[in-house]
Amino acid sequence: MTRTAIVTGAARGIGAATARRLAADGYAVAVVDLDESSCAATVADITAAGGRAIAVGADVSDSCAVTAAVAHVETELGAPTILVNNAGILRDNLLFKMTEDDWDAVMSVHLRGAFLMSRAVQAHQVTAGWGRIVNLSSTSALGNRGQANYSAAKAGLQGLTKTLAIELGRYGVTANAIAPGFIVTDMTRATAARIGVEFDDFVEHATKEIPVQRAGDPEDIAAAASFFCSEGAGFVSGQVLYVAGGPRA
C-alpha cells in the first residue's frame, strides 16, 4: 500500500525539497501551495524521477479551502496519512513598526494553517490507525530581533505539536516538529534584503556562527522530515528537532 503525504508550502525551498524526498521514499505526494501553477516544477521533478504527485492550490488559512484540498487529495491519491505543515510567510519588522496586519497574516498562515490542515488530515489518520504530522518551526522560536510575529508563531507550533502528540498518540499518529536554523532559501534572501545586506555577505556571516561551518540546505530539513515520517520513527512523538548545524539553547 502506498501512503499519501501532503506537504504545504511545497512550491519551492524546504517544502519542495521535502516533497521530493518523501516521493523518493515511496509516498504519493500532494504538493500544496497558494498558487497551484507554482507547484508545477516540484511535481515535474517528482514524476520525472518516477514518483507520483499532484499540484494543489489552497490557502491553508482558509477552512473551506483546506477541506476542499484534502478531499481532492483523497480522490486523486488516496487518503492522506502524512502531513508536513511547512507553509509560511514573513512580515518582519521591529515591534514598534509592526502592524496588526503583519501580525495577523503570519499567525494565520503558520498557526491557523497548521491547525486547519492537521484537523482535516487527522480524520484520515485516525481511520487508518496510523499517521505522521511534521510541523516546521524555527530557531526563531527562541526569539529573533524583528520577528515578534514569526517567533511567536514558530513557538506556537511547538506547543501545537506536543498537544497533537498527546491527543493523537492513541490512534497510532505521531506529531513532531523541526526547527531549522540558517537555511539558504528565498525567505533568507528576503531577510537579507530587509536588513539591507548583500546575500553572500549574509550567508558568510551566518556560517561563521554555525559549528559545522556551513549554511543549511533545504535537503537537510527534508532528511529530518523523512525520518519523522518513517515507520522507524513510530516511538518518537512530541519532539522538536533543531536542525541548525549545532546546539541551540
Unique residue bearing C-alpha cell 494565520: 108
* Cα separation of the two ends of the chain: 41
For residue 128, what is its C-alpha cell? 487508518
**Is 27 annotated as catalytic?**
no
- Could you identify the residue written with the cell 514569526? 150
Question: Distance between CA 29 and CA 18 in Å, rounded?
Answer: 10
| Residue entry with cell 519551492 | 12
Cα dihedral value 72, 178, 225, 165, nearest 10: -70
Which among 92, 195, 110, 194 is positioned nearest to 148, based on CA atoms? 92
Q: Which residues are catalytic?
A: 150
